[in-house]
């Protein structure tokens, strides 16, 4: 029996839905990152990308324990990890649109990508610039430019 696909917005928490406009505008994204996003938002984005807490912590250059403590205390992340989280949210949405589902996008993130020097895209998500490179590659795929 085939899996039933849920409409993409069904997996987005109200907080993430509220950030959709922000992540579509580079200036708004930077301004939001300066104030910091809640640690819970980082976990919500990780869920969209099907990342474990350990993978999320690795991408944000922190520990799982720290992230969980921040989430419990309803603390905000600093500007740099907040920017990463917001860019990851934009990338998750873009990937879901291009690949048709979050799980198909996640599978792509784990495989070496020709346009990224045969690096798995997931390995490049540790920096803001790396997220940009992956987003550019997803955009090329969307436009049929696989070389």
| Residue at 147 is within a domain | no
Q: How confident is the model at residue 122 (pLDDT cuts 50, 70, 90)?
A: very high
- Half-sphere exposure (Cβ direction) of 25: Cα atoms closer than 13 Å: 8
Other residues' Cβ atoms within 10 Å of the Cβ of residue 132: 13
- Break the chain down into helix, strand, coil percent, rounded to 5: 70, 5, 30
Distance CA 129, CA 125 (A): 8
Q: Is residue 125 a part of any domain in this protein?
A: yes
Residue 4 maps to a domain: no
Average pLDDT over residues 61-78: 96
Mean pLDDT of all residues in 103-128: 95
Q: How far is CA 98 from the centre of its chain?
A: 14
User: Does the structure show a pLDDT above 50 at 10?
Assistant: no
Number of domains in the chain: 1
Q: Does residue 27 sit within a domain?
A: yes
Q: Is the residue at 6 inside a domain?
A: no
Q: Which H helix or E strand runs over 17?
A: helix 14-18
In-domain check, residue 66: yes
Q: Quick check: helix, strand or coil at residue 107?
A: helix
Q: For residue 70, what are the domain limits?
A: 15-142
Percent of the chain whose pLDDT exceeds 70:
88
The reply to whether 9 falls in a domain is no
Q: Identify whether 136 is part of a domain.
A: yes
């Amino acid at each position: 029996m085939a899996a039933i696909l849920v409409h993409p917005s069904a997996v987005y928490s109200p907080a993430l839905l509220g950030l959709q406009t922000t992540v579509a505008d580079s200036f708004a994204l930077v301004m939001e990152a300066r104030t910091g996003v809640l640690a819970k938002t980082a976990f919500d984005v990780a869920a969209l990308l099907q990342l474990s807490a350990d993978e999320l912590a690795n991408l944000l250059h922190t520990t799982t324990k720290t992230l969980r403590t921040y989430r419990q205390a309803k603390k905000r992340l600093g500007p740099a990890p907040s920017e990463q989280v917001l860019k990851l949210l934009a990338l998750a949405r873009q990937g879901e649109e291009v690949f048709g589902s979050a799980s198909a996008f996640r599978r792509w993130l784990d495989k070496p990508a020709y346009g990224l020097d045969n690096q798995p895209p997931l390995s490049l998500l540790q920096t803001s610039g790396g997220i940009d490179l992956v987003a550019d590659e997803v955009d090329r795929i969307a436009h049929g430019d696989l070389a």
